[in-house]
Amino acid sequence: MIKARVTVTLKNGVLDPQGKAIEGALGALGFEGVGQVRQGKVFDLEVEGSDKAKAESDLKAMCEKLLANTVIENYTISIA
């Protein structure tokens, strides 16, 4: 079994209203000096098998087809 983590974030230049709302809420809660908050998604997955190259290839396909909207999002894959 191969464990992997996929992190999906908005591309630079794409507006992030959720990040802006979080930034405002943190300020309202008294956390000063916090800026440029960007919100993203993290997926932890287990892939059957022991071939890391195949797992990475499959994970890239998953990101391209479902996990990330590649028009506005970037993704990174970490395999443990």
- pTM, two decimal places: 0.87
Beta-bridge mates of residue 74: 9
User: Which residue in 75, 78, 56, 54 sits closest to 66, CA to CA?
Assistant: 75
pLDDT tens digits for range 20-43: 999 999 999 999 999 999 999 999
Sign of the alpha-carbon torsion through 8, 12, 14, 20: positive
Q: Could you tell me the pLDDT band of residue 63, with boundaries at 50, 70 and 90?
A: very high
Q: Phi and psi (nearest 5°) for 69?
A: -90, 95
